[in-house]
């Protein structure tokens, strides 16, 4: 399941809790679109803002709504004991794999990061994807640490940050990491503007925020890149440059939340406080970008 397009949908949330029916519809759209896997409770899924019970329910709803599409469930938390509880809940819900970022408040040493993954891996009956996301965790993985963690039998994939934009540098980055990993461990790229480049550089998967909302165009990028069609993959990705600019300016979670709300996929408000929706001017900008892009995309961001 750690190949191709892994689409990460929102978890529509307000101060009253999670909108489970909206979660189910967002996930079902991805199953119908034919994505390779679905990432529930990733960063876009707001896992860090949800209680254990809310996360347990989201995992259950997502697995049911996903049909035959495998579901990857995020289990990150500050304490190892809580990570283990989330892992248990995800497995009981039927998750095909779990996604773990080393969430921290105190800076973690390499031994502490390794210890987290070793403790969790020892308790798993499903594969684990290592989530390397220094922008939120402030943990910087060395290739040596990645290689050490990847020797744990449960590890099936590593989700890395965006690869360099220059193709030769991107290929070199992926090759350096590949050299320290067992053959069974795949590499997936995140950071949507780098999706095409990462796949063309040799990554096996694209862990995509936009894929959770616009799966068809992201599938087209993924298939072109995996077929070695450099021009086709970059052409499709470059068409989305206005969205990538919005992601950089406002954060992808706020932007895809605004798009999903404007499309009627989720209600409003839909972000857990202290997160706030985009201000009115930014929302108008998002709407204008979506209107401009929608006729060119194979699927508009509405109900499938």
The DSSP string of 157-177 is EEEE-PPPSSHHHHHHHHHHH
Averaged over 222-230, what is the pLDDT?
96
Told to judge if 131 belongs to the known catalytic residues of this protein, a careful annotator would answer yes
Q: Is the pLDDT of residue 195 over 50?
A: yes
Q: For the chain, list the domains and their CATH numbers.
A: 4-296 (3.20.20.70)
What is the tens place of the pLDDT at every residue in 285-296? 999 999 999 866
Q: pLDDT tens, 123-165?
A: 999 999 999 999 999 999 999 999 999 999 999 999 999 999 9
| 119/193 Cα distance (integer angstroms) | 34
Given a cut of 60, is residue 298 above it in pLDDT? Answer: no
Number of H helices, E strands in the chain: 13, 10
Mean pLDDT of 23-34: 97
User: Cα dist. 178→150, 158, 159, 185, 226 in Å?
Assistant: 11, 10, 13, 9, 17
The one catalytic residue among 49, 105, 114, 159: 159
| pLDDT of 303 higher than 50 | no
Please state the pTM of the whole predicted model: 0.95
Question: Measured between alpha carbons, how far is 70 from 283 in angstroms, rounded to an integer?
Answer: 33
> Coil, strand, or helix at residue 13?
strand
Q: What confidence score (pLDDT) does residue 296 get? A: 62
Torsion on CA atoms 266, 269, 274, 275, rounded to nearest 10: 50
Reported as a pLDDT band with limits 50, 70 and 90, residue 1 is: confident
- The angle formed by the CA atoms of residues 99, 100 and 103, to the nearest 5 degrees, is 145
The catalytic position among 47, 49, 117, 131 is 131
Is 222 known to sit in a ligand binding site?
Answer: no
Token pair recorded at residue 167: 């193709």
Residue that wins the pLDDT comparison between 302 and 47: 47
Is 105 among the residues known to form the active site? no
End-to-end CA, the chain: 23
Q: What is the reported pLDDT for 304?
A: 42
């Amino acid at each position: 399941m750690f190949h191709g397009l892994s689409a990460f949908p929102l978890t529509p949330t307000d101060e009253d809790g999670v909108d489970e029916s909206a979660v189910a519809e967002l996930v079902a759209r991805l199953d119908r679109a034919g994505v390779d896997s679905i990432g529930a409770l990733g960063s876009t899924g707001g896992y860090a803002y949800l209680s254990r019970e809310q996360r347990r329910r989201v995992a259950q709803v997502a697995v049911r709504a996903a049909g035959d599409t495998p579901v990857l469930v995020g289990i990150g938390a500050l304490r190892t004991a809580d990570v283990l509880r989330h892992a248990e809940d995800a497995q009981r819900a039927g998750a095909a794999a779990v996604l773990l970022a080393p969430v921290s408040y105190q800076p973690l040493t390499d031994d502490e990061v390794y210890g987290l993954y070793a403790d969790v891996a020892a308790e798993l009956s499903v594969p684990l994807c290592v989530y390397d996301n220094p922008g939120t965790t402030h943990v910087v993985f060395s290739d040596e640490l990645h290689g050490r963690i990847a020797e744990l039998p449960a590890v099936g994939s590593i989700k890395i940050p965006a690869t360099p934009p220059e193709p030769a540098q991107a290929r070199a980055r992926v090759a350096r990491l590949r050299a320290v990993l067992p053959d069974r461990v795949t590499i997936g790229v995140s950071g949507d503007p780098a999706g095409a480049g990462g796949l063309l550089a040799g990554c096996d998967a694209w862990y995509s925020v936009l894929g959770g909302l616009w799966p068809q165009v992201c599938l087209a990028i993924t298939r072109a890149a995996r077929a070695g069609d450099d021009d086709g993959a970059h052409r499709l990705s470059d068409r989305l440059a206005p969205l990538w600019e919005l992601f950089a300016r406002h954060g992808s979670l706020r932007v895809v939340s605004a798009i999903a709300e404007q499309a009627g996929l989720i209600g409003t408000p839909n972000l857990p406080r202290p997160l706030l929706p985009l201000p009115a001017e930014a929302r108008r900008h998002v709407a204008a970008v979506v209107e401009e892009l929608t006729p060119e995309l194979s699927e508009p961001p509405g109900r499938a």
